[in-house]
Amino acid sequence: MSKVLITGGAGFIGSYVCRKLLEMDHEVVVYDAFVHYISPLKSILKEYTELRFQGIADQIDFRRGDTRDKAHLRRVILETRPDRILHLAALPIADLSNRHSEEALTSILEGAVNVLEVLRDVDFVKRFVYISSSMIYGDFEEIPAPEDHPKHPKDIYGGTKYAGEVMTETYSRRYGIPYSIIRPSAVYGPYDVNRRVSQIFVENALLGKQIMLYGGGHQTLDFTYVEDAAEGMIKVMFHEKGDGKAFNITYGRGYTLRELAEILKTHFADLDVKIVEEEDVFRPKRGALSIEKAKSLVGYDPQVSLEEGIKRYLEVYRDLDVFKNHL
């Protein structure tokens, strides 16, 4: 049994990691600022934190704190003495990072460096896992994109995530900090409230609202069900072959937004889908990522296709009161 500290652990992905770690009998410490990145007035799910931690909240050591507060962060790490740290805390949305670039720089880069600054002075952490992003690649030049794909991020989010990778590797070389880097892509599933495209599409379908397909719906993403992402992060964090390496943790297949809409249409025959030819030219052209490295080295094996993931997503939401009146 290990003790894992998860920065940003009260967030969407972090909550699923917490649940899986507890199922494996590990101790979990959550260090989280409990910040709303999207206005609560725009959130359909008002009690999403309670939903995320239903049945497990009393098994977790919750510590409120911001990774930009290095003194408090150090105090919590020294008090809890975790074996491993999963660093998820960051402004999680690419579009918001572009609009709030200073917050992105401090939240993503400064937060990561502060954790590394603490780790240079302690000897009890066996692995620091930095959660990066597939946005660091920019426009995909090779599909599926492998981990050694050229890094040409096109936005503030991708740039700061990549800077965090560089600093993680630098601190490791200088101070011997054991680390892993994980690059997820388009993670989706129940209790996401940050207005990612999958959440918008699913909630609009449930509420009988129109879905807009910008750029003709041809944008391609490697949609990753949140339980697969959480499982992959845990495998990398604990596997000896995960040390000192970067991994794509995704489903490994690209789906267009039009395909996502078609999958939703199999559940909502009257779904109103509007094609808009206008396209965001600054958004990187993406697709599938290669997950062969994660499969071969740490045994990562994602199980949930987009078709199955949307089915599971809808099954959870159909039982929520906020959607029942619309079905």
CATH 3.30.390.50 fits 3-324, yes or no: no
Kindly tell me if the per-residue pLDDT of 193 is higher than 80.
yes
pLDDT digits (tens, 9 = 90+) for 80-109: 999 999 999 987 676 766 777 788 888 899
Kindly tell me if the per-residue pLDDT of 207 is higher than 70.
yes
Kindly tell me if the per-residue pLDDT of 318 is higher than 90.
no
**Paired residues of 225 in beta bridges:** 188
Kindly tell me if the per-residue pLDDT of 216 is higher than 90.
no
Kindly report the length of the chain: 327
Integer Cα distance of 191 and 54 in angstroms: 12
For position 126, what pLDDT does the model report?
97
Integer Cα distance of 67 and 90 in angstroms: 9
Q: What is the residue-averaged pLDDT of the chain?
A: 92
Band of pLDDT at residue 325, cut at 50, 70 and 90: low
Integer Cα distance of 242 and 185 in angstroms: 19
What's the whole-number mean pLDDT along residues 262-291?
Answer: 88
More confident residue, 201 or 105: 201
For position 311, what pLDDT does the model report?
96
Can you give the residue ranges of every domain in the chain? 3-324
The Cα-based distances of 202 to 210, 301, 310 in angstroms read 11, 25, 8
**Paired residues of 188 in beta bridges:** 225
Band of pLDDT at residue 115, cut at 50, 70 and 90: very high
pLDDT digits (tens, 9 = 90+) for 53-74: 999 999 999 999 999 999 999 9
Least confident range from 139-148, 206-215, 260-269, 308-317: namely: 206-215
Kindly tell me if the per-residue pLDDT of 215 is higher than 90.
no
Burial 4-38 (b: 16+ CB within 10 A, else e): bbbbbbbbbbbbbbbbebbeeebbbbbbbbeeebe
Tokens 């940050």 belong to which residue?
194
Burial 96-124 (b: 16+ CB within 10 A, else e): bbeebbebbbbbbbebbbbbbebbeeeee
More confident residue, 104 or 201: 201
User: In angstroms, how far is the first alpha carbon of the chain from the final one?
Assistant: 44
Kindly tell me if the per-residue pLDDT of 201 is higher than 80.
yes
Integer Cα distance of 89 and 194 in angstroms: 14
The pTM of this model reads: 0.93
Least confident range from 82-96, 163-177, 215-229, 244-258: namely: 82-96
What's the whole-number mean pLDDT along residues 105-120?
Answer: 95
